[in-house]
Every structure is written in structure tokens, then in C-alpha cells.
Amino acid sequence: MQQRVVFLDRASLQAEVRRPTFAHQWQEYAASDVGELPEKLRDATVAITNKVPLRAATLRQLPNLKMIAVAATGYDVIDIDYCKANGIAVSNIRNYAVHTVPEHAFALILALRRNLFAYRADVANGRWGQVDQFCFFDHPIRDMYGATLGIVGEGALGQATAKIARGFGMKVLFADHAPPKMPGVEFTPFDEVLATSDVISLHAPLTPETRNLIGIKELRKMKRTAILINTSRGGLVDESALVEALTQGLIAGAGFDVLTKEPPKDGNPLLDLRLHNFILTPHVAWASEGAMQFLADQLIDNIEAFVAGKPQHLVT
């Protein structure tokens, strides 16, 4: 049987994507709107999506669809319950970003702990030439060594982030949570992690249980000298609460690579912040050249394995 494979948002992956070895028709689109999906996927047996949502209302119109290959680790854009009930396999990408995401997280951590953006702005504004000594101390500079990093999410990315942290001489705490839990990990109560960490880094999936995991109550429990890092999913943090925390000085700073809705065509409260202690990057923590090529290769491996009757990396 010849498969029809449709890639809905090819422009979201800047890597070479090899064609499957089985008999197939291949169709790719740079981007896709939800309203276009019934026509674009009309005869598809395999759909590839990175961030294009595939919900029940769409999936009901696609009787030939047998597999959804998610070009990412997170699969919250897929109606998993519908797929389970209707025999549609869903695969995701595993362990492709174990270097690039933790490195990006630490780029944010280092910039914020040392107030690099604030000092860079001061220099650009002529502050250095106005002082009477060789340096100035307008913003606090805090070491990594001896600081405590609290991690929410002890999967591959959380573990890789912890490894880097230990290399800096940081103490690492993994926040406790409901099962399932990674075996062999020592957990610390969530509230204790909030209260004692100098840096909190989020590496959890977005689920109904983790949505708005960090709100104003949690932000008030953090140290005023602490920073919050999110390279995971925007919905983990109440964005309005974060604006309040930053503008009121409840925490020392935040570095985010994600927003609740992406792209933020209708605006977002975080886009309006003009603070040196807040860094926002456009969901690129995952996107090193090496990581994207690894993802592209595994994406096709997942599809080939499914067609061969030996599915791998299934989430349903």
C-alpha cells in the first residue's frame, strides 16, 4: 500500500528531511491553518506536524489517517484521547534537544545572574565614561557557584540541565510532583524548592495538571533574589502573574523562550515588558543546527518504523 505523507509546517524545521524508503507520495506545506487541514490531509495516511493543532473536529474528517508524527517532543497540539479511541498512532521525538535546550537555559541564567543586559545598556548609554573609577556596580552580580537550582521536571532535559549546574558548583533540587516519577531521583517538596532556590528552571510538559503551575502564589514564595527560567511550555506560567512579579520586584528576573500562544499575533503581556531583568527569546532553545537535524532524522525513522509494523516512540 502506498502511503500519503503530508508535512503541515515544513518551514518550522530548518534541516534536511530525507524521504521515507517505503512507497509513498510526499506533500509538504510551509505552514498550515486549521481551516485548511481537512483538504490538505484529505487522503493522507501519515500527517507530520510540529505546532499545527490536530483536534477531534479535524480528525473526524480524516478516515484514512493512520499516524501523526509530531516533529517535537511536546504533543499537546494533538487530541490524544481521540487518537487512542480511533486507532491513530501518535509518535514524538525523544532526546533530541538534550544539549541545546539546557545550553539555552544556562545562557539565560548567566545573563540574568550577572545582569549582562543591564550593564550592556549602561555602556551603550555612556555610563562607563561618566564614572571616576575603572568600573561601576549599578546592578548586582551573583555567582553560580554555591547557588541552588530548582528544577521542575526530571526527564532528559531536566537531568541534562542538572549536569551543567553541577559543573558550575550549584546545588540541584528536583521538585516533587505526582506520579509518574523518574526512578532513582531524590525529590524535594515543591514549596521548599520555590522558597530555597536561587534559580528555578522549568522542564515539564504542559498538561491539565501543570497548566499555570507557577502563578502569583508561587512567585511570592520565591526569593526576591531568585530568577525563573522557562524553556519548556508557555502555559506552565501565568504570564500576567509574572508581569506583576517582575514589575513589583517579587523576583529578581526571568528568562523565557516560550509563550502561551505562539506566534503572539494578538499580543502578550510579556511582549510589553521593557526590563533589563527579563529576557524573551522566540521559542528557539531547541533549534541548534545539530538538534534540528537529529530531530529530522528521527522523525522519518519514526514513520518508517510504524509503516514497517514496528512502531517506536509512540505516545498512544
Active site (annotated) includes residue 177: no
How many other C-beta atoms lie within 10 A of the C-beta of residue 157?
A: 27
- 113 part of the active site: no
Bond from prior residue into 282 cis (ω within 30 degrees of 0): no
Give the DSSP letter of residue 237: B
Taking the CA atoms of residue 25, residue 29, residue 30 and residue 36 in that order, the dihedral angle to the nearest 10 degrees is -160
Q: Out of 18, 120, 166, 262, which one is annotated catalytic?
A: 262
Contact 229, 202 (CB under 8 A): yes
Cβ atoms of 194 and 221 within 8 Å: the answer is yes
Which alpha helices (DSSP H) does 140-288 contain, by range?
156-167, 190-196, 216-221, 239-247
Task: Tell me phi and psi for residue 199, to 5 degrees.
Answer: -135, 135
The three-state secondary structure class of 107 is helix
- 10, 203, 283, 313: which one is catalytic? 283
Which contiguous run of DSSP H or E holds residue 97? Answer: none
Give bridge partners of residue 301 from the DSSP assignment: none
Q: Is 262 a catalytic residue?
A: yes
- Catalytic option among 233, 239, 244, 313: 233
Residues 6+ apart with CB under 8 A from 43: 4, 64
**Positive or negative, the Cα torsion across 173, 178, 181, 183?**
positive
- What does the alpha-carbon distance between residue 212 and residue 94 come to, in Å, rounded to a whole number? 25
Residue whose C-alpha cell reads 510504524 in the numeric block: 306
* Bridging pattern class, strands 89-91 and 67-70: parallel
Query: From CA 122, how far away is CA 130, in angstroms rounded?
Result: 10
Which of the residues are catalytic?
Answer: 233, 262, 283
